[in-house]
């Protein structure tokens, strides 16, 4: 992966660092005084070189690679261009690809970042919000067969250990709350850090737009589980990153990534990221 990172141009790295620091494509364009399309071109090129489908994943790979190259084991946040500042959650409440901020907290390892609520709030957020009143009910109707398919597919993918099965079930239970449009319960079931970053109102909007954009889940296959023990991540508690390949009634292919943290013996959601392949 280091060789792939070295293929990135400095302009592409700059765009990825901004994304990691909390900006999205639009705010990055404003920060660099460039066009939105120029930023998107750089992110698209970076994704291609790194072989990933998500710009946020590309940003994480870059910062992780740069972290390893920094003497003293610096944290990813300190490697990123912190002088650009980190946009507040409120500033990005209606933006795409928004990333949670640390609000001045002491920089931490990447697996200890506070939670992010990415609910596919698209560039057409205003139009989509207006459309909720007419199409939200249709998007929220869960066909019984869809839930059967999700249950049947729960065991798909590579064989998992007992601990991985446990964390997968917790992740699936939380995703089911979001799938059903239950904003209150899904927020209550998330980790405290994730709840702190997003008010109930913002959470409800994100859940509603996710349903409106993607529709009803038809299939969800677990394709990868990365276990990050506390002693490896340097964080307080174990982390697990689960990647699902999913199909929705309005999106044929969606990559969902759920980051789970073990808190007091239980797994809670620390981060959620959904990528439907469209440029944000």
Residue 204: count of CB within 10 angstroms of its CB? 17
Q: Which of 157, 149, 181 is nearest to 247 (CA)?
A: 149
Q: Which helix (H) or strand (E) holds 225?
A: strand 217-228
The vertex-55 CA angle with 250 and 59, nearest 5°, equals 150
pLDDT tens string, the chain, 280 residues long: the values are 556 888 999 999 888 888 877 778 888 888 888 898 999 999 999 999 999 888 888 888 887 777 665 444 444 433 333 222 223 333 333 333 333 333 333 333 333 333 333 333 332 333 333 333 333 334 343 344 444 455 444 444 444 444 566 899 999 999 999 999 999 999 999 988 888 877 888 888 888 888 888 999 999 999 999 887 765 555 556 788 999 999 999 999 999 999 888 887 889 998 888 888 765 4
The pLDDT assigned to 81 comes to: 32
The model's pTM is 0.48
Which pLDDT score is estimated for 163? 59
Alpha carbons within 13 angstroms on the beta-carbon side of residue 164 total 17
Both structure tokens of 156: 């798909």
Question: Which long-range contacts (C-beta less than 8 Å, at least 24 apart) are formed by 243-249?
Answer: 244/175, 244/220, 245/220, 245/221, 246/217, 246/219, 246/220, 246/221, 247/217, 247/218, 247/219, 247/220, 248/214, 248/215, 248/216, 248/217, 248/218, 249/146, 249/214, 249/215, 249/216, 249/217, 249/218
CATH architecture of 2-105: Orthogonal Bundle (1.10)
Say what the pLDDT of residue 140 is.
40
pLDDT score of 69: 55
Q: How many CA atoms are closer than 13 Å to the CA of 236, on its beta-carbon side? A: 6
Residues in the chain: 280
Phi and psi (nearest 5°) for 264? 60, 35
Provide the token pair at 230: 């506390």
Fold of 125-275: Nuclear Transport Factor 2; Chain: A, (3.10.450)
Q: Which two tokens stand for residue 98?
A: 């928004």
Q: Tell me, what's the pLDDT at 248?
A: 94
Between helices 125-140 and 200-214, what is the axis angle to 10°? 70
Domain ranges of the chain: 2-105, 125-275
pLDDT at 110: 35
Residue 130: DSSP 8-state: H
Give the other-Cβ count within 10 Å of 193's Cβ: 18
Q: What SS3 class is residue 260?
A: strand
């Amino acid at each position: 992966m280091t060789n792939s990172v070295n293929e990135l141009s400095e302009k592409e790295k700059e765009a990825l660092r901004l994304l990691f620091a909390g900006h999205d494509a639009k705010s990055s364009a404003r920060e660099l005084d460039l066009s939105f399309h120029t930023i998107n071109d750089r992110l698209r090129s970076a994704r291609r070189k790194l072989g990933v489908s998500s710009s946020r994943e590309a940003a994480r790979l870059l910062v992780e690679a740069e972290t390893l190259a920094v003497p003293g084991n610096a944290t990813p946040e300190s490697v990123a261009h912190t002088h650009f500042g980190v946009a507040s959650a409120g500033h990005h409440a209606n933006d795409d690809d928004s990333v949670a901020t640390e609000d001045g907290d002491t920089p931490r390892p990447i697996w200890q970042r506070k939670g992010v609520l990415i609910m596919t709030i698209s560039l057409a957020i205003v139009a989509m919000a207006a459309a909720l009143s007419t199409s939200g009910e249709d998007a929220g109707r869960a066909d019984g067969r869809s839930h059967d398919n999700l249950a049947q597919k729960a065991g798909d993918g590579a064989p998992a250990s007992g601990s991985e099965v446990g964390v997968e079930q917790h992740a699936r239970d939380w995703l089911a709350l979001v799938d059903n449009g239950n904003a209150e319960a899904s927020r209550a079931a998330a980790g405290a850090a994730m709840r702190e970053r997003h008010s109930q109102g913002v959470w409800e909007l994100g859940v509603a737009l996710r349903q409106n954009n993607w529709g009803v889940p038809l299939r969800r296959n677990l394709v990868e589980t990365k276990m990050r023990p506390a002693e490896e991540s340097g964080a307080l508690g174990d982390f697990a990153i689960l990647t699902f390949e999913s199909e929705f009634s309005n999106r044929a292919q969606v990559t969902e990534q759920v980051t789970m943290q073990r808190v007091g013996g239980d797994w809670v959601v620390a981060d959620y990221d959904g990528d439907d392949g469209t440029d944000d």
